[in-house]
Amino acid sequence: MALSRDGILAAADIKTQEIDVPEWGGTVFIKGMSGAERDQFEASNRRSDGEQNLTNVRARFLVRCIVNENGTRIFADQDAAALGKKSSSALTRLWEAANEANGTSAEAQEETEGNSEPEGGSDSPSN
């Protein structure tokens, strides 16, 4: 079934999941980013010399993905320095969940790369 423009734009395709964080004594909601939000984050990682800025990258990513139960961000970008001082194990757990929610985990990227490669066989138009 082919989707229409309106159908695509109306689709509720950004998911939120609740993650237990025992180090903090409760749960946190992680939301996937929109395409524009992800592009903005990726642009913020580029230094003037063209290299990636990986300083406090987990916290800088998480401040954009941690939301309340209504899906609204609870941290501003400026909160990344403070969040980065929290438990490494808690941040790693949330980082992994946020990467999964945004299709940026190593597994998701491998799957995407694998799906872009032709698998050969009778599906190939050059047979």
110 located within any domain: no
5 located within any domain: no
> How many structural domains are present in the chain?
1
91 located within any domain: yes
For residue range 88-120, list pLDDT tens digits in order. Answer: 999 999 999 999 999 887 654 555 456 544 444
Give the domain range for residue 18: 14-101
- pLDDT at residue number 111: 56
- pLDDT at residue number 104: 84
For residue range 4-61, list pLDDT tens digits in order. Answer: 999 999 999 999 999 999 999 999 999 999 999 999 999 999 999 989 999 999 999 9
- pLDDT at residue number 86: 98
76 located within any domain: yes
CATH of the domain at 35: 3.30.2220.20
113 located within any domain: no
Which pTM does this prediction carry?
0.79
For 80-89, the CB contacts below 8 A with 24+ separation are: 80/56, 81/56, 83/59, 84/56, 84/58, 84/59, 84/60, 86/23, 86/24, 86/59, 87/23, 87/24, 89/23
Lowest mean pLDDT, pick from 29-33, 47-51, 62-66, 121-125: 121-125
107 located within any domain: no
- pLDDT at residue number 112: 46
